[in-house]
Amino acid sequence: MIVQVVAAIAAAGAVLLFPGTGPSDQALGWGALAGLGSVVGTLGLYSGYAVAPLRVAETCSSVLSAVIPGIVGIALGEQLSLFSKIGLCAAIPAITLVVWQPDAPAGQRNYAGVGCGIGAGVGFAMVYIGLDYAGTAAGAWPLVANSSVALLLVAPLSRYLRKSPADWRLAGLPATAAGVAGTAANLLFLFGAGHRQLAIAVVLTALYPSVTVILARIFLAERCSRSQTTGLVIAVAAIALTLTR
């Protein structure tokens, strides 16, 4: 709830910096679709975390959120160079290798998370497609529709959270940071997709688990498995190839 409130405020601030030509029906409509996808994706992902190991929902979500918009972009006529196509194809196994941990005990496997991960992937794909088709002419206005719809959908759910005032205060700072960071990420994707093909933008965005693994290695001293290391190497190569014209 706090995240969505902060995101709505941040989106309003972004409009002051990037007003564009003003709001349009197209920009607000596609932004609203992105807001719906954001809620579906987030609920699906965290539901997957609750019923299965994190890697199950994370893998399904990451791969599908890259594949679905990529297919949409190519189907609608986006022209990619040969190197970009190779990079896109290489990114999918890279994402899977970074997230998946095949050496985890078999007893932890719970494929109930697959369905949640699929739902999350479809939701996040809606975010990418919505922000891409909203376009950049309206500036940051699509983010206002995005955050407003998300807030309207999440607000009723907060009634069912039996949290004490102390819990809300404890979550305040991290939730505020998440709301600001999420809005900044959506703004960067909005403008990035406006300057590059949708297929390229979404695949590069879906490589975010690689950053998580690297940060965990630096700050938490977590070891990278062999599959994760391989995935990181492939991810770097995929990014280089994808950005080659």
The pLDDT, as a whole number, for residue 91 is 75
Q: For residue 195, with 0-12 CB atoms within 10 Å meaning exposed, 13-18 middle and 19 or more buried, which class applies?
A: exposed
Tokens of 1: 């709830």
Higher pLDDT, 81 or 22: 22
Instruction: Report the range of poorest mean pLDDT among 20-34, 163-177, 227-241.
Output: 163-177
Q: What is the dihedral of CA 215, 216, 219, 221, to 10 degrees?
A: -140
Q: Give domain limits for the chain.
A: 2-242
The pLDDT, as a whole number, for residue 96 is 73
In the chain, what percentage of residues exceed pLDDT 70?
80
Q: Identify whether the C-beta of residue 120 lies closer than 8 Å to the C-beta of residue 61.
A: yes
For 74-139, the DSSP string reads HHTT----HHHHHHHHHHHHHHHHHH--TTS-GGG--THHHHHHHHHHHHHHHHHHHHHHH-STTT
Tell me, rounded to whole angstroms, the distance of Cα 233 from its chain centroid. 21
Q: Provide φ and ψ at 63, rounded to 5°.
A: -65, -50
DSSP 245: -
The pLDDT, as a whole number, for residue 107 is 46
The pLDDT, as a whole number, for residue 205 is 78
Distance CA 243, CA 110 (A): 37
Distance CA 88, CA 13 (A): 34
Task: Spell 64-73 as b/e; 16+ CB within 10 A means b.
Answer: bbbbbbbebb
The pLDDT, as a whole number, for residue 191 is 86
Residue with tokens 């189907």: 75
Closest CA to 233 of 213, 219, 216: 213
> Per residue in 78-134, pLDDT tens?
777 788 778 778 877 877 776 666 555 544 445 677 788 889 989 999 999 999 889
Tell me, rounded to whole angstroms, the distance of Cα 114 from its chain centroid. 17
| Residue 211 identity | V
